[in-house]
Amino acid sequence: MGCLALLLLFGPVIACVLVAVLIIVVIAGGADGSSSAPGHVPGIPDVMLTAYQQASQRVAGIRPTCAGMRWSILAGIAEVESRHASGRTIAPNGDINPPILGPPLDGSGVGGNRTPIRNPDGTFARAVGPFQFLTTTWAGVAQDGNDDGTHNPHNAFDAALGAAAYLCGTGPRNLKDQAQLRAALLRYNGSQTYVTQVLANIERYDAVELRPVVSASGAAKIVIGAAMSQLGVPYAWGGGTAAGPSRGIRDGGVADRHGDYNKIGFDCSGLVLFAYAKVGISLPHNSRSQFALGARVPKEAGLGALRPGDLVFYSPGLIHHVGIYVGGGKMINAPNSGSLVRIDTINFASYAGGVNMLR
């Protein structure tokens, strides 16, 4: 089932995990009510928006008792703190240059600070990065949001995930509840004026049209529309039929630890199977078998050779993951256990080529 080909050779390994680092990930909304991903928001650099979206979905993995996190909350804060890293260069991996640094909090009164705050090494703390974390606070909440092995407050992905974790706290919290959201924002910054401004920003961003722009027609439009209709549905290894999401199965490993066998959802090839069934194409529930079908689009031809609705496959080595190309270098897919059906930017380093089923 699912991306079973990899499992057969390597045992209880989650079959549809993306083994290379995903540099930019556009996250669809969560099953807890967080919003789907807009393709672009005026005034927010695309990398920053991607970081907010990714953090809003990934925070569930580190703060499982927190509900209601959404990209608009993080965007509302970052607008006040740094105007979304305005005036800086933001690399695709999220690194921000030059760094955003507040003044040393030495009690001199600069920036309103009258009480010296020191780091453990004796230096004065300061606010850093697009979310303006105190260095002392970052030390306790630091995250690796882009999976590069570092915890950098000057990286959009790391900082956004750290902010999401900080807002969630360590106990149960529901950020869909306005009172709890306000309390979380007050914890972030104890100013009522600050909270009022951030809440206004959040309300404005919540009203953004929440659908990626996809240019497709005919059968491709139907396939993509079917997949898009499942944004936010949980990943479940072995899940997905022509009729829709289904209960996952056991893999004896990672999927079991995530409880996929108790979830109703899709794995990567199950989502593809479902979407293509809408145009009368029956596909096997196996990414390697799907790769053997249709008209091949070689990796060497580049992403520009793909058309919306094409299947995109990942290696290295054996084929182990599949998604549906939606244009603009992005695909809709069910990535891995613990995630949701979402829009991701294709990582060309692991891209193995495409297949067109509609020609």
pLDDT tens per residue across all 359 residues of the chain: 445 433 333 333 333 332 222 222 333 333 333 444 556 788 899 889 989 988 998 899 899 999 999 999 999 999 999 999 999 999 988 999 999 998 888 877 666 666 788 878 888 888 899 999 988 899 899 999 988 899 999 999 999 999 999 999 998 999 999 999 999 999 999 899 999 999 999 999 888 754 555 678 899 999 998 998 888 788 999 999 999 999 999 999 999 999 999 999 999 999 999 999 999 999 999 999 999 999 999 999 999 999 999 999 999 779 999 999 998 888 999 999 988 888 888 988 899 999 999 97
Domain shared by 201 and 233, yes or no = no
165's enclosing H/E stretch is helix 156-168
Domain shared by 200 and 228, yes or no = no
- pLDDT at residue 39, as a whole number: 61
The pair of three-digit structure tokens given for residue 88, joined into one six-digit string? 């800086």
Q: Cis before residue 104, ω within 30 degrees of 0?
A: no
Domain shared by 246 and 147, yes or no = no
Domain shared by 319 and 196, yes or no = no
Domain shared by 198 and 274, yes or no = no
- Please report whether residue 52 resides in a domain: yes
The pair of three-digit structure tokens given for residue 271, joined into one six-digit string? 């989502």
Q: What angle do CA 326, 335, 228 make, to 5 degrees?
A: 40
- pLDDT at residue 6, as a whole number: 37
Domain shared by 237 and 341, yes or no = yes
- Please report whether residue 301 resides in a domain: yes
- Please report whether residue 168 resides in a domain: yes
pTM exceeding 0.75: no
Domain that holds residue 252: 4-22+213-356
Overall number of domains in the chain: 2
Domain shared by 81 and 190, yes or no = yes
Instruction: Name the domain boundary from 160, 177, 206.
Output: 206
Instruction: Name the domain boundary from 161, 176, 206.
Output: 206
C-alpha 319/C-alpha 313 separation (Å) is: 7
CB 154 within 8 A of CB 102: no
- pLDDT at residue 20, as a whole number: 26
The one-letter code for the residue type at 68 is: G
- Please report whether residue 34 resides in a domain: no
The dihedral over CA atoms of 208, 210, 215, 220, expressed in degrees to the nearest 10, equals -170
Instruction: Name the domain boundary from 190, 206, 222.
Output: 206
A 10 A CB-CB count for 183 gives: 16
Domain shared by 121 and 229, yes or no = no
- Please report whether residue 331 resides in a domain: yes
- Please report whether residue 27 resides in a domain: no
Domain shared by 50 and 190, yes or no = yes
- Please report whether residue 254 resides in a domain: yes
> What CATH code is carried by the domain that includes residue 223?
3.90.1720.10
- pLDDT at residue 214, as a whole number: 63
Domain shared by 181 and 245, yes or no = no
- Please report whether residue 118 resides in a domain: yes
